[in-house]
Structure 1
Amino acid sequence: MLDKLELFIVLAREGHFGRAAVECGISQPSLSAAIRQLEDQLGVVLVVRGTRYQGLTPEGQRVLEWAKRIVGDARTMREEMRAAKSGLSGHIRLAAIPTALAMIPRLTEPFQAKHPDVTFSVVSRTSLQVLSQLDNFEIDAGITYLDNEPLGRVTSVPLYAERYTLVTAEGTLYSDRDTVTWHEMENVRLCLLTPDMQNRRIINQHLEQAGVTVEPTLESNSMVVLLSHVSTGQWASIMPRNVAHSFGFAKEIRMVPIVEPEASHLVGLVATHREPFTPLVSALLHQARNLSADDLD
């Protein structure tokens, strides 16, 4: 039954028999047959069917909760037995908000120094995508904001406080200042992250509290794109201080702290809450707890 529950989770995630079959590496008829067999075994209808997939029945929603729990426990058991036999090894899938990507080596480098047989893959995602992919077993852990929007049932480890700075070319408006206020951002030609990013929602929130509305002339989901436009001298941006420092700007680029208020938001590692954690996730959480906010700020 375990393999059928795994197929069912993928179908619920994809919401389409064809896409789910491709994701699972099987034919669509094989997937449909496996779901019907699961329904027969459980004695309930799981999927609302018509000419195409139309969602889960109430029983299907409840089985999905059980399926995630059972599949998660089975994966934990397999990893634990593998670790007991041959030590910690395997692959960790990480997703992080764009503003946290630059700090990930401070987590992965000491981890791999301790556990050289563990590999990583890292992808950039919005905060909502991080939580969704955790819930759907698409990633093992994520790095996202901890204190601005609901996280749901996760275990979290704070890593650093994100503080904000105006990043602008030398010789431009406010580049000679020691600080600048949120209210003064209304006078700046800005490039910012796209509205689906929580960092952008945070920035909008502080601008609104300062009584200003800003319309950026360029938006991107990539910090690299924003930085490359700032370097032209035609745009400025609002970025977390740790991100700006990590890129090692040339002398021609200035980073001016934004005050009134000097806002900060907590960023940390999140993993789906379960007892016990897989050995890999448990070790990663332990490594995260060993990092100090001072080292990452």
Structure 2
Amino acid sequence: MILPSLRQLEFLVALADEQHFGRAAEKCHASQSTLSAGLKELEATLKVVVAERTRRSVTLTPIGKELAARARRLLADAKAMVDYAAANMGVLSGDLRLGAIPTLAPYLLPQIVPEVRRNYPDLKLYLREAKTDDLLHSLHAGEVDAVLLALPYEIGDLAVFPLFEDNYQLAIQPDHPLAKRPRLSGEDLTDIQMMLLEKGHCLQRHALSAFAPLGPQQDLTFEATSLPTLVAMVAEGLGATLLPDIAIDAGVAEGQDVALVPLKGAHPRRIAFVWRKTSPRGAELELLGEAIIRIRDAVKTPGPDQPGS
């Protein structure tokens, strides 16, 4: 009996996800001709047609959809075998695929990755930045091993390792009356229309709920794709926004003509490290979570010879 290869199953799953040969090939880091040939070999091996092809579109057949679902489970099991072997190579060694949301990745990863690589030279990190829903899908599919994200968020039955809380500050034009205040509350922001990130970013929801049920409303005439864009809009006098402390500490507002005002009584977002409860690398990931906390504490508490001490 000839069995399909894991590579062929990977091609099938990618095609099911993308519904497009070019994008599926790109996802698999293969040429379109290689992917197409692999799928034809799969069809020949299984003696079924998995996809209906036209010049403009591709559609999985009913049996193709069922096979893709089975292939997804087989690939996850194969990945678990690799993870199990990696977990037994030694503490924090082998390949580790880590996802992080866009409002964390640019500010947290530069802090932790160099130290992690220095302290664990046998660990090879692969990093992916994406929105929460995309990363959770990848986590459940076995495409990443763990995810750095912000709670509250519906994450299902995952192992959760709390890291730290991330508060907010108001970013506003320096000549605005609120910019002169030493601290603000939710009541102070009830009449402020906030420029926020577009829907799909968890920070958009967290910022609006920071003072629930009181607090700011979203300015629906503008939605940004990044925090630097929001800061630039505030600097141009076009409105106000809420910025998380982790981005401020990393310098997102440096060099911009904006005032930052601390907030009292805000509900912080909770930064956490999550992974599948069935992961054989759970003990390693807990060690990595502890390392992240230690590294952040060291960064936020300068030594006697460092600025700020």
- Check 1:216–1:243 CA distance in 2 against 1; reply closer, same or farther (3 A cut): farther
- Check 1:194–1:183 CA distance in 2 against 1; reply closer, same or farther (3 A cut): farther
Secondary structure of 1:152 counterpart: coil
1:193 paired residue number:
197
Conservation of the 8 A alpha-carbon contact between 1:173 and 1:188: no
**2 CA distance for matches of 1:236 and 1:203?**
12
Return the offset for 1:78.
5.6
Higher relative contact order (CA 8 A, sep 6+): 1
- Check 1:195–1:178 CA distance in 2 against 1; reply closer, same or farther (3 A cut): same
Is 2:228 aligned against 1:224?
Answer: yes
Secondary structure of 1:229 counterpart: helix
What residue identity is the alignment partner of 2:134?
Q
User: Mean Cα displacement is larger for which, 194-203 or 61-70?
Assistant: 61-70
* 1:7-28 C-alpha deviation (Å, 9 max, x unpaired): 3332333233453245442524
**2 CA distance for matches of 1:130 and 1:60?**
23
1:116 paired residue number:
121
Return the offset for 1:30.
1.4
Any unmatched runs of 5+ in structure 2? Answer: 301-309
1:265-284 aligned within 5 A? 265-277=269-281, 283-284=284-285
How many residues get paired? Answer: 285
TM-score (norm 1): 0.77
- Check 1:77–1:15 CA distance in 2 against 1; reply closer, same or farther (3 A cut): farther
**1 CA distance for matches of 2:50 and 2:85?**
29
What residue identity is the alignment partner of 1:135?
H
2:109 paired residue number:
104
- Check 1:291–1:89 CA distance in 2 against 1; reply closer, same or farther (3 A cut): closer
| From 64, 70, 73, the counterpart of 1:63 | 70
| From 202, 206, 214, the counterpart of 1:202 | 206
What residue identity is the alignment partner of 1:142?
V
| From 156, 161, 169, the counterpart of 1:152 | 156
Return the offset for 1:211.
6.8
2:289 paired residue number:
288
Any unmatched runs of 5+ in structure 1? Answer: none
- Check 1:232–1:22 CA distance in 2 against 1; reply closer, same or farther (3 A cut): closer
What residue identity is the alignment partner of 2:201?
M
- Check 1:117–1:231 CA distance in 2 against 1; reply closer, same or farther (3 A cut): farther
Conservation of the 8 A alpha-carbon contact between 2:98 and 2:145: yes
| From 182, 189, 194, the counterpart of 2:186 | 182
Conservation of the 8 A alpha-carbon contact between 2:188 and 2:215: no
What residue identity is the alignment partner of 2:182?
D
Conservation of the 8 A alpha-carbon contact between 2:138 and 2:144: yes
Return the offset for 1:38.
5.6
- Check 1:256–1:224 CA distance in 2 against 1; reply closer, same or farther (3 A cut): same
